[in-house]
Amino acid sequence: MKLNRQQVLLIVLAGFGVLSAGDWVLTTMIQGPLDKRKARTRAIEKEIEKHEKTLADGRKAGQFLDEWRKQSLPANTEVARSLYRSWLLERVNAAKLLSPTVDSRSPSNRGQYRVLPFSLRARGTLDQFVQFLFDFSEAGLLHRVQSLDLNPAGSSGFFDITLSIEALMIPGAEGDELNTEPSDWLVSDSVGDYDVISRRNIFGVGMAFDPRRQTFVTAITRSNDQPQVWFKVRDHDKTLKLREGDTIDVDDFQGTIAEIFEQDVTIDADGERWLLSVGDSLADGFAVPPER
């Protein structure tokens, strides 16, 4: 049977209709629900991951909870206040700070623990304050310095010191004594390793006279095509102009000029090589490995 043109067009259109209907069925009845199921599955997997992380964090926190309770102040507020105040005063006396006063305010709740705030005021040298901070940080207690103020007391070498401190009380903490085991928070367990703090006193007062602090690198020039470094010795009002290999001798400091660069100079002294920049005093140098 021979089909006319109109019949052929009807058959083609019917085919397109079948294809469209099939695509609609595939998209709406099969692919759509399948995509929704996949999206739902991904959402469930993410929710599971979230809960697993929460559980892992909880287990990890649980591992430390016993240690935190040991480092906590006692749960009783008045007992905690009395013990910690006495402990602070002991640290102040050990550091030989003067005229200490310690005050405490009412505790506040933060999540599952309580914070007991303290304020400490005292007077002392920077060395004494460094000793206090060392003892404070070495203690195995849940406490921190929230803020501190250091104000030079004229040119006496002393500072007026004000500290805001927070100590924690963890639920379940037992006993009525403070933890006496040291912490492992400090990089070094020797207070001598922190002397650099007082040596670099940014206030410029309160330190014993040190000739090295009166001798500054003021310029680096060239003379006869050779580099030259200038040192201003303020307490003697003189300028030293030295080349590589020359000796610098200032009171109890003696060294040899090793290398002179555009803005820096190295000095060999006390078995080490020290690097200084223009504007530094001899006391501001820091040790660098010598060239081999």
Q: Determine the structural domain holding residue 275 and report its residue range.
A: 211-288
- Segment 241-249 mean pLDDT: 94
Q: What is the distance in angstroms between the CA of the first residue and the CA of the last residue of the chain?
A: 104
- Per residue in 56-68, pLDDT (tens digit) is 666 665 566 777 7
Report the half-sphere exposure of 176 (CA within 13 A, side-chain side): 5
- Segment 248-272 mean pLDDT: 89
Tell whether pTM > 0.75. no
Q: The tokens 């803020």 sit on which residue?
A: 147
Distance, C-alpha 16 to centroid of its chain? 71
Domain at 259, CATH number: 2.30.30
- Tell me: do 180 and 264 sit in the same domain: no
Split into its structural domains, the chain has a count of: 3
Sign of CA dihedral 183, 185, 186, 188: positive
| Residue 97 reports pLDDT greater than 70 | yes
Among 199, 229, 245, identify where a domain stops: 199
Q: Is 206 a domain residue?
A: no
Q: Which of 10-19, 40-49, 171-180 is the most confident on average?
A: 171-180
